[in-house]
Amino acid sequence: MKNPERSRKAPAVFRPAALPAALAAGLSWLATAAPVIAVSVAIVAVAPGCKKEEPPPPPPPPPPPPPPPPPPIEIDPLRQSMRIDARVHFAQSKAPTDEGLARGILSLADAIIRGDSDSMRGLLDPTGGTVLTSLLGSGEWEDATEAIEAIRVVRVIESGGAGMVSLAIQDPQGAYVLNWAAIKTGDRTLFTGVPGPDTVFPRASDWEKPGVSLDPVIASFGSMPSLDDLDADMDPSTFPDRTSPATTDSPANDGETIRRTPAGPVRIPRPSDGGG
């Protein structure tokens, strides 16, 4: 019996005669597939580099608008709670946004119109306190405050921790203005007198008319003094007639009158004959 392994014929592809044909067919397939393989490899190799760029992030939202400024202080309820003298006029249109400044202005006007030197002293800076002491010693404080009929707040300038207030003082002879610088120190508002105009009007309300200046007239050869200079000018020793009290306005040189005021003597030009 023949061995079946030896009697089995090898596949035709492995026969010597079939080798060239099989090899040629294999090479032909390889030649056809090579470009496809190369392109596939190239695509795989290039694909990571062709990744689509991400869009830029959106711009940040705009910042929120600043908060609106605080509303002005309601003057009437405040003055009622402080029991301010009815002769003090403080229009709502002049109200500041800072309650401390509003309280200080009301207290200042109230102390002047009542002639309350103790309350006044607590509202003044050290320089103003020195001036008040001198006015009390000369009798000028009483002379000036007893004649006051009304006080009108005609200007309020608010600037952070400081400010300016102009008070129109009405007495039988007319209405003059006292300017005060306001400075906040902690929860208190202190005042010091600063130069004001020399004009006198018939009524305090005249100081609120359009075109009326509440500032002093500056000479052409000078300039507005600094706050340090103003402090020096408030030296009581520089005021005329400091040692003798006067109950009426005193004449001065060059057609001027010295008006006794709660802030000290003020030189006021006498009105001309044609003045109104």
Whole-number pLDDT of residue 14: 46
- Asked if residue 40 is part of any domain, the answer here is no
Whole-number pLDDT of residue 6: 52
DSSP codes of every residue in 135-157: HHHHTHHHHHHHT--EEEEEEEE
Whole-number pLDDT of residue 52: 78
- Asked if residue 231 is part of any domain, the answer here is no
- Alpha-carbon distance values, 219 to 28, 31, 216 (Å): 113, 108, 9
Dihedral sign (CA 106, 108, 111, 113):
negative
Q: How far apart are CA 201 and CA 211, in angstroms?
A: 14
**CATH number of the domain bearing residue 249:** 3.10.450
- Asked if residue 79 is part of any domain, the answer here is yes
The residue ranges of the chain whose pLDDT is under 50 are: 10, 13-16, 19, 23, 27, 30, 38-39, 41-46, 219-248, 274-276
- Asked if residue 260 is part of any domain, the answer here is yes
- Asked if residue 165 is part of any domain, the answer here is yes
Q: How far apart are CA 235 and CA 131, in angstroms?
A: 7
DSSP 48: G
The overall pTM is greater than 0.85: no
Do residues 202 and 173 lie in contact, with contact meaning Cβ atoms separated by under 8 Å?
no
Give the chain's domain count: 1
Q: How far apart are CA 98 and CA 72, in angstroms?
A: 7
Whole-number pLDDT of residue 187: 84
Whole-number pLDDT of residue 25: 56
Domain span at residue 143 reads 75-208+242-269
Whole-number pLDDT of residue 72: 96
- Asked if residue 67 is part of any domain, the answer here is no
- Asked if residue 120 is part of any domain, the answer here is yes
- Asked if residue 53 is part of any domain, the answer here is no
Task: Please give the torsion angle defined by the CA atoms of residues 9, 12, 13 and 16, in that order, rounded to the nearest 10 degrees.
Answer: 80
